[in-house]
Amino acid sequence: MSVATRASAAASAGAAPRRSALGQLARVELKLFLREKVGPVWGIGLPMLLLVIFGSIPAFKKELPGSGGLTTLDTYVPILILLSLGLLSLVAMPLTIVNYRERGVLRRLRTTPAGPVRVLAAQLIVYLGMAIVTVALIVAVGRLAYGVPLPRQFGAWLLSLVFAVAALLAMGLFVAAVGPNPRAAGAIGSLLFYPLMFFSGLWLPIPAMPAVLQHIAHATPLGAAWEGFQQAILGHWPPVLGLVAMAAWAVVFALAAARFFRWD
């Protein structure tokens, strides 16, 4: 068969049903996320591993004085949730996007009707989906294996989760916007990730911090989120100021990301 006749066969058989470009992109990005392993191992595996380790330490199951009947493990589960969300949105997602920019994937998409905005949207969909799966997994394993109580005020807990995810994804997009290459993006992401995790109480629980640090913690998105989770577990609504703080981080970083983002 000549090249030309095969080519015309290729041209004439183009009557496939229209599929949504965004749907296809999200499907492909999900496959790539699972294949790349960075996201699943660090974003999902590490927090799960820590949950199992902390859950196996007897001292973590003793009631914390002045915590309203919670154990150390109970207060750590929200931190592990934030750890997972932080790794996914501040490290894994920006690395993917910056890598795409460096390799010309975004530039190439600009020459198609899909456009590069859709690939970013697909990224957000995938990471949002992964965040939901991970959070559900941590909460379920904590409850079933280690008796960590579910939040008494579920709506309040969900509210804090939504605000925290919004702030983190906005920061992740900001890192992707300003990181000139994957290495730099990794460094900028870590620069945000570690202080934020500190103020979530990963190394030192917020109530154990000096007063000054506690004030700062409440103004950071992960500290505010932890406080919101904690209140929800005890059956209370999160402090309004915490929600405002998270919303402010989300808006500022989203605007900065939009301002600085480059396609190539």
Partner 1 sequence: MAEVIKVRNLHKEYGATVAVDDVSFSVQEGEIFGILGRNGAGKTTTVECVEGLRAADRGEISVLGLDPQRDRAELTQLLGVQLQDSQLPDKLTVAEALDLYSAFYRAPADWRALLELLGLAEKARTPFKKLSGGQKQRLSIALALVANPRVAVLDELTTGLDPQARRDTWELIEGIRDRGVTIVLVSHFMEEAERLCDRVALIDAGRVVAIDSPASLAEQAQAEQRIAFRPSAPFEDGLLTSLPSVHGLTRRGEVVTVTGGADALLEVITTLSRAQITPQRLRVDQGNLEDAFLELTGHHAVKEQVR
Nearer to partner 1, 28 or 251 (CB): 28
Residue among 38, 46, 114, 117 that touches partner 1 (CB under 8 A): 114
The reply to whether 11 sits near partner 1 by the rule CB under 8 A is: yes
Nearer to partner 1, 15 or 211 (CB): 15
Cα distances from 96 to residues 151, 210, 248, in angstroms, run 33, 38, 25
Residue among 62, 103, 152, 215 that touches partner 1 (CB under 8 A): 103
Nearer to partner 1, 94 or 201 (CB): 94
Q: Map residue 15 onto helix, strand or coil.
A: coil
Cα distances from 193 to residues 70, 140, 179, in angstroms, run 27, 25, 15
Cα distances from 162 to residues 18, 179, 191, 198, 221, in angstroms, run 33, 25, 23, 20, 11
What's the rounded Cα separation, in Å, for the pair 22 and 178? Answer: 25
User: In angstroms, how far is CA 156 from the centroid of its own chain?
Assistant: 19
What's the rounded Cα separation, in Å, for the pair 142 and 127? Answer: 22
The reply to whether 107 sits near partner 1 by the rule CB under 8 A is: yes
Nearer to partner 1, 107 or 215 (CB): 107
Q: Which span (61-69, 109-117, 217-225, 235-243) binds partner 1, by CB under 8 A?
A: 109-117
Residue pointed to by tokens 């103004």: 219
User: Within positions 22 to 41, which residues make up the interface with partner 1, using CB under 8 A?
Assistant: 23-25, 28, 31-32, 35-36
The reply to whether 4 sits near partner 1 by the rule CB under 8 A is: yes
Nearer to partner 1, 28 or 145 (CB): 28
Residues that bind partner 1 (CB under 8 A): 2-4, 6-16, 18-21, 23-25, 28, 31-32, 35-36, 99-100, 103-105, 107-108, 110-115, 264
